[in-house]
Amino acid sequence: MKRLFDIYYSYMKIVIAMQLQYRASLLIWAFSSLVWVLIPLVVWVTVAKSQGGQVGSYSSGDFAAYFIALLIVEQTTFTWVIWEMGERIRSGQLSPKLLRPIHPIHEDVAWNISYKAITFALILPSALLIGWAFHAEFHPHVWHIVVFFPSLISAFLMRFVMEWTIGLVGFWVTRTSAINQIYSTLFLFLSGQMTPLSLLPRPLEMLANILPFKWAVAFPTELVLGRLTPTQVLLGFAIQASWLLVSLIAFRFIWRLGISRYSAVGA
């Protein structure tokens, strides 16, 4: 454990210094994340306006609060590893990582956290600014905020392990972009990124419940907005834990399968 901590500390120190060198790219990425949330926010606020101020259980101010919370949740839980993994495997860049006495996933986690540590300084004030500009209605209880943090952590773990495992499909398929696109699109519709899930047509809403995406994004979002009963919160944590368990099992299994194929075919 101390060893892992030592490794993460060294990684992050160095990666943060490196990412700060590319400040411009960081700014652009952070900016894109803001735009990406701003668009559906404006759309739904407009819909609310044309519907007399309320759509489902969301008023204009509720929509603003939803998307601000979503921004924070996305920033904390997102990964980009599925887009890199295919190339990494194909080009043989994976091999040097296999020679080190540590699992390659740790490096990716360290990078991910480092990036977020830096950009959060920009995202958080922007979120507050947008919330103020759109009159977000946000009345949380203290305990909502308190419970929010563990939900974010487990959402991050769940999503990271899941997406890292999905990236491993690159061991068998050369063109991973199509698979990545399908995944991203499903995620977009069924996780709560595009719209609060209660506004989806019923069959889609039910589908979202049984898929893992919602539990990484919509669950923490609705939690911090105070839209969930205590029972629902507990249930949500249980489901997150189950998906994390499933992801970990799949991760170990598929990694072993993928590595033996990689090592058989040629590194």
Judged by the rule CB under 8 A, the positions of this chain that interact with another protein are: 3, 6-7, 9-11, 13-14, 17-18, 21, 24-25, 27-28, 31-32, 35-36, 38-39, 42-44, 46-47, 49-51, 55-56, 92, 95-96, 98-102, 133, 175, 177-178, 181-182, 185, 188-189, 194-195, 199-201, 260, 263-267
Q: Of 16 and 233, which has the nearer Cβ to another protein?
A: 16
Cα–Cα dist 131/121, whole Å: 16
Residue nearer to another protein on the CB measure, 201 or 230: 201
Distance from the Cα of residue 104 to its chain's centroid: 20
Q: How far is the CB of 65 from another protein (least distance, A)?
A: 17
Of residues 16 and 248, the one with the C-beta less far from another protein: 16
Least gap, CB of 77 to another protein (angstroms) = 20
> Cβ of residue 57: shortest distance to another protein, in angstroms?
12
C-beta closer to another protein: residue 151 or 195 = 195
Output the smallest distance, CB 206 to another protein, in A: 15
The angle subtended at Cα 216 by Cα 212 and Cα 221, nearest 5°, is 130
Cα(162)–Cα(7) distance, integer angstroms? 23
Beta carbon of residue 240, minimum distance to another protein (angstroms, whole number): 25
In the complex with another protein, which residue's Cβ is closer, 129 or 245? 129
Within 10 Å of residue 63's Cβ, how many Cβ atoms?
26
**Distance from C-alpha of 48 to C-alpha of 63, rounded to nearest angstrom:** 9
Identity of the residue, 235 or 261, whose beta carbon is nearer to another protein in the bound complex? 261
CB 164, CB 79: distance < 8 Å: yes
